[in-house]
Amino acid sequence: MNRRIFLRNSGIAAVGSLLATTDVFSKAAATHPVGIQLFTVMKEIDQDLHGTLKKIADLGFKEIESAFSMKGGYYGLKASEFNSLLKDFGLSWKSHHVVGAPFKLPPDAKGADGKPLVLPPIKNLKENYKEIIDDCNGAGFKYLVCASTPIGTSDEVKDSMETLVKTGEALKSTGVTLAYHNHDAEFKEVDGKRPYDQFLSQISNDILKFELDLAWVTKAGVDPVALFKKNPGRFPLWHVKDFDKEFKTLLPVGQGVVDFKRIFANAKVAGMKHFFVEHDMPANAFESIAASIKYINTVIKPA
C-alpha cells in the first residue's frame, strides 16, 4: 500500500550480504544525517507520540519529515510545540508533507477496526495554501512538500501546476521552499505528455524543487541518475526505500532492487540536502526502519 491509497484502507527479513562501496558513494551519504518520513510510523506515532520519537532517536535517526496525522495538526500539536518536542529528542525538523487538492474518502472506506473511517479536516494547497503557510510559523523546517496532487487528465495537470506555482511564489518570502514528491503515476503519459516532465520544464527552479522517491521512480522505469543529470540541483530531498523485483511489495532499504550505490554516487549532481527513510504501511514499522538504518549506516555510510 502507498500514500495514495492508505486513506482508503485505513517479521522483516534480515539484511543480506553487504555490498562494497566506492569512496564517492560513501562520502555522498556520510555528509548527510539519516532522516525518517513519519508516514512510516503513522499508526504508532498517533498512539504514542513521545514513545515513538524516542524509539526513532534511539535507532540513530537525526532528521524528521512530518506528514498527515489522524489527530490533526502536527500529531495533535501546534507547529511550534512539535518543533520543541523534536528538539527534546535531539531531532531536527526538515520538511513537512501536505496534499495538493481536496481529498474525498470513498463511501465504503473503513479503518483498521472495520468501522467507517472518519478523518480530521485535511488542508490542501489548492484551497488552503495561505493557511498552510501560516501554519508553518514556528515549525522551523525549510521544505514544504506536496505529497500528491491530481494528474489524471490534462486539465488536472494544468490545475495542479497552477496550485504549485501560486504556493511556491507565496513561500518565497518565508524561507521555506516548495518541493514535489512523486509516485510512479507522474511518469505515465497524459495526452502524450508525462506530468513529471511538465512540472520540471514549466515550473521554474526558484519556485519548485523535487523530492525524488527512489523506489517509485525505479518502479516507473525511469533512471534517477539521468533525471539528476538533465536537471542538476533540483532534487534536494529524497525518499529512500526499496521494492521487490516484481514491484509489488515495498521493502526496507537494501532488501530489494533499487540501485542505491549508483544513485548516492550522484547525490552532488542531484543537489541532495536531506534524505528520509520511508516505508509505506509496513507490517512492523520499527523492524523496518531498524533494518533500513542498519543498511544505510553499514553500507552507504561505512565507518
User: Where along the chain do its domains lie?
Assistant: 26-300
**Residue 207 banded pLDDT, cuts 50, 70, 90:** very high
**Residue 302 banded pLDDT, cuts 50, 70, 90:** low
The residue among 167 and 104 whose pLDDT is bigger is 167
**Residue 208 banded pLDDT, cuts 50, 70, 90:** very high
pLDDT of residue 119: 81
**Residue 73 banded pLDDT, cuts 50, 70, 90:** very high
pLDDT of residue 167: 98
**Residue 27 banded pLDDT, cuts 50, 70, 90:** low
Contact predicate 277/64, CB 8 Å: no
CA 301 and chain centroid, separation: 21
pLDDT of residue 303: 43
Q: What are the respective helix, strand and coil percentages of the chain, to the nearest 5?
A: 40, 15, 45
Residue type, 82: F
CATH among 3.40.50.300, 3.90.280.10, 3.40.50.1820, 3.20.20.150 for 26-300: 3.20.20.150
d(CA 156, CA 263): 31
- pLDDT tens-digit readout, 8-22: 444 333 333 333 344
What is the pTM assigned to this prediction?
A: 0.89
**Residue 31 banded pLDDT, cuts 50, 70, 90:** confident
pLDDT of residue 1: 46
pLDDT of residue 4: 53
d(CA 277, CA 100): 22
The pairing of strands 250-251 and 242-243 is: antiparallel
Question: How large is the average pLDDT for residues 149-164?
Answer: 98
- DSSP E strands: which ranges in the chain? 34-37, 63-66, 92-99, 143-148, 177-181, 209-213, 237-240, 242-243, 250-251, 274-277
**Three-state DSSP class for residue 227:** helix
DSSP code of residue 1: -
State the Cα angle at 158 between 155 and 162, rounded to 5°. 135
Angle between helices 285-295 and 49-59 (to 10 degrees): 20
Q: Which residues contact 184 (CB under 8 A, 6 or more apart)?
A: 216, 217, 219, 220
- pLDDT tens-digit readout, 75-130: 999 999 999 999 999 999 999 999 999 987 777 777 667 788 788 889 999 999 99
Q: Which of 24-33, 106-115, 262-271 has the lowest mean pLDDT?
A: 24-33
